[in-house]
Amino acid sequence: MSAPKTIPKDAQVMIQILKDMGVTEYEPRVINQMLEFTYRYVTTIIEDAKIYATHAKKSSVDADDIKLAIQCRMDQSFTSPPPRDFLLEVARQKNQSPLPLIKPYTGPRLPPDRYCLTAPNYRLKSIQKKVAPSVGRISVPRLSVGAVSSRPTTPTLGTTSVQSVSTKVGAPVSLTGQRFTVQIPPPSQMTTTKTSKNQFFPLMSAGRCMRAAGSGCLGVNLYRVLGCSKQDSDTRSELTSCLSPQLHRPLQRCPTSSSTRL
């Protein structure tokens, strides 16, 4: 390719190499990427070789050093798949065992939990300050998406609160850059609001982030309503226990939540 402006010699060499290897169609960025790679690789090798040469107390770097450097780097960055014979041997051993029988349907057929990505991958921070329990009141963590201002009224009790919580949240939240606040509405719990907030907020945000990222944690659905007529620590433990996702057994309840059923 002959462009009006002169291409640097290195790039011309690279173009020629690509042509020799039979690569005829490529984006122009490829040349730059190849050159960068070449530069990085060569400098890495030469630096390694220098180290080896000084280690061997040689005054200058020679071919053996370079060879050694290449070999070491090869094992590190350019690993190749195992050799065929090894694979055949492994395959032979693996294929000897008969196929395991399939148990009758016991729920979704997944590996043991340890090997799944369904466990929560976060832990809640421990809160030292005790919160005065409010008997009979149920604090409803609410999410208002995007709005920082506080909502005037908040329902607090009963199943209705569940519904309102759900309705407050609109379309599925995609998280990049959205702010959300958690409000603990009941004014009687003002004193405890701060701590409760701290308690819930990391949970919420962490959970939200996880859900959006889907990075391996079954998105813990944060619209879970938690009754916390007990101490904070209990609430916390309830949270953690409830939040072990049991999604495929949806009707199974958290062990402690039954007592705090709305």
Partner 1 sequence: NESAPQESESNQIVSCSKIHIPSNHLGGFNRSNANDGRLLSSSPGAGTGGTATGNNKPAPGPPEEQQTLLAVLQFLKKSKLAESAEILRREAGLPEDALDPKGTDASGSGPGLAAGSGQVDGVDASSLLSRVTVSSSAAAQAPKKAAAGEDQPDVSVVLSAYSQQGDPSLYDAYYSGLKRFIESVLDCHRAELSQLFYPLFVHMYLELVYNNNESVAKAFFEKFSGDQECYYEQDLRILSSLTKKEHMKGNETLLDFRTSKFVLRISRDSYQLLKRHLQERQNNQIWNIIQEHLYIDIFDGMPRSKSQIDAMSGSLAGEARREANKAKVFYGLLKEPEIELPLDDEDEEAENEEGKPKKKKPKKDSMGSKSKKQDPNAPLQTRIPLPELKDSDKLDKIMYMKESTKRIRLGSDNLPSICFYTFLNAYQGLTAVDVTDDSSLIAGGFADSTVRVWSVTPKKLRKVKSAADLNLIDKESDDVLERIMDEKTASELKILYGHSGPVYGISFSPDRNYLLSSSEDGTIRLWSLQTFTCLVGYKGHNYPVWDTQFSPYGYYFVSGGHDRVARLWATDHYQPLRIFAGHLADITCTRFHPNSNYVATGSSDRTIRLWDVLNGNCVRIFTGHKGPIHALAFSPNGKFLASGATDGRVLLWDIGHGLMVGELKGHTDTIYSLRFSRDGEILASGSMDNTVRLWDAMKAFDDLETDDFTAATGHIHLQDNSQELLLGTYMTKSTPVLHLHFTRRNLLLAAGAYNP
Tell me which residues touch partner 1 (CB under 8 A).
21-22, 67, 70, 74, 78, 80-95, 99-102, 104-105, 108-112, 115-118, 159, 162, 166, 169-172, 211-219, 221-225, 242, 245-247, 250-254, 257, 261
Residue 102 or 148 with smaller CB distance to partner 1? 102
DSSP labels, 182-237: EE---GGGHHHHHHHHHHHHHHHHHHHHHHHHT-SS----TT------S-HHHHHH
Q: Cα–Cα distance between 209 and 179 in angstroms, integer? A: 12
Tell me if 224 sits within 8 A of 244, measured CB to CB.
no
**Side chain identity, residue 233:** S
4 token code pair = 């009006």
Q: Which two tokens stand for residue 179?
A: 């702010």
Q: Decide whether 159 or 191 has the Cβ nearer to partner 1.
A: 159
3-state secondary structure of 241: helix
C-alpha distances in angstroms, 200 versus 84, 123, 229?
54, 12, 15
Which token pair is 245? 């996702």
Instruction: Tokens for 236, please give them.
Output: 């916390």
Continuous segment of H or E residues that includes residue 50? helix 28-55
Q: Please state the closest distance from residue 218 (CB atom) to partner 1, in A.
A: 5
Q: How far is CA 199 from CA 95, 206, 233, in A?
A: 51, 12, 10
DSSP 144: E
Residue 190: strand, helix, or coil: helix
Q: Tokens 């061997």 — which residue?
A: 56
